[in-house]
Amino acid sequence: MKVTWDAIDAATWDAHNARTGAALQQDWAYGACMKTLGVHVLRAWVTRDGAPVALAQFIVRYFAGQLASMALCSLGPVWLAPVTAKEKERIYQTLKKTIPLNKLRIVLFTPAEEAGADLGLSPWRKVMTGQSSVMLDITKSLPDLRTGLDKRWRHRLGGAENSDLTIHRVGTNPGQYRWLLDADMQQREQRGLSGLPLQFFDLYSQSRQQPSKNMLTIRADIGRDRVAGMLFLIHGEAATYQVGWTSDVGRDQHAHNLILWHGIQELQARGVRVLDLGGVNTIRSAGIARFKMSTGGKVVTYAGSYF
């Protein structure tokens, strides 16, 4: 195994990463946006006998005036070829050994895999429990996707389709979707939540030549009033549901069911195969968790964080 650091360009990274359906955090554009925001990013390219095996993007935080650092590979590495648990173990060790940081460092991995014998990481080095997310395969036909919906979710979708709601695809200029981000910021403050900074979205929407391949925003109106919205970030053949907001009226009319259904169709048309509906917390946000799980997606519980 050979690891090279920051040695390939965006086009090469995207060509290999896009088809894997990997997480947003491993997308080149995600790292590029973080760099613009002042965050240090490192990218590793792993080969076996000259053939690509894995790629890994790290976000680096410095402490004590850059004397110490912590590097996080979030939902990575991305495996580009079949690898055994032993090979994964070697790759993790080589990444930690060769990462170009001072010796006072901590290197963390939160692989986009469930715990198991093939993980390649020692359970003794686990420092945090993994979160759960709902992954929805949208390569299926629309009739099959609709059949896979929970009965109550499907009933609410039908009601929303027959309501006064109108659905609009929002443009990718910041002024066209900023209202949704502002509403999301208010939600974060009220609920004590954190998330990506507002500037990130403006950067990400323009991170590639075709903004429509980076971001999708959909709005639901009743008359002239906005009642709900959703924003999806697109990364290769995958997309992540990143922002959602609804008013009380929108909630009563089940606007998010209708928006998500339209979003699935839009993402299908853009070549997306898998939709990450985001984390689920059945204790703190039970209603949101039920909404996501009732789409027919698979609940994936990641293995956790390892050093």
Tens digits of residue pLDDT in 176-210: 999 999 999 998 888 887 889 999 999 999 998 88
- For residue 253, give the nearest of 231, 227, 277, 229 by alpha carbon: 227
CATH code at position 90 = 3.40.630.30
**How many alpha carbons fall within 13 Å on the CB side of residue 228?**
22
In Å, how far are 148, 156, 296 from 144, measured between CA atoms? Answer: 6, 17, 10
Predicted structure pTM score = 0.95
Q: H-type helices in the chain, by residue range?
A: 10-17, 28-36, 85-98, 142-147, 151-161, 174-191, 198-205, 248-252, 255-269, 286-293
Domain total of the chain: 2
Same domain flag for 289 and 144 = yes
Same domain flag for 189 and 108 = no
- How is residue 132 written in tokens? 């759960």
- Provide the pLDDT for residue 281: 83
Residue 305 within any structural domain of the chain:
no
List phi, psi (to 5°) of 60.
-115, 135
Last residue of some domain: 67, 96, 121?
121
Same domain flag for 172 and 273 = yes
Tens digits of residue pLDDT in 154-163: 999 999 999 9
Same domain flag for 88 and 231 = no
Residue 293 within any structural domain of the chain:
yes
Same domain flag for 273 and 159 = yes
Tens digits of residue pLDDT in 80-133: 999 999 999 999 999 999 999 998 999 999 999 999 999 999 999 999 999 999
Domain that holds residue 38: 2-121
Same domain flag for 176 and 250 = yes
Same domain flag for 18 and 154 = no
Same domain flag for 146 and 90 = no
List phi, psi (to 5°) of 8.
-120, 165
Same domain flag for 137 and 277 = yes
Same domain flag for 188 and 94 = no
Using DSSP's 3-state secondary structure scheme, residue 55 falls into strand
Residue 162 within any structural domain of the chain:
yes
- Provide the pLDDT for residue 282: 77
- How is residue 235 written in tokens? 């990364």
Q: If you average pLDDT over residues 282-288, what whole number do you get?
A: 82
Residue 156 within any structural domain of the chain:
yes
Same domain flag for 97 and 173 = no
Percent of the chain with pLDDT over 90: 90
List phi, psi (to 5°) of 89.
-55, -45
Last residue of some domain: 61, 92, 121?
121
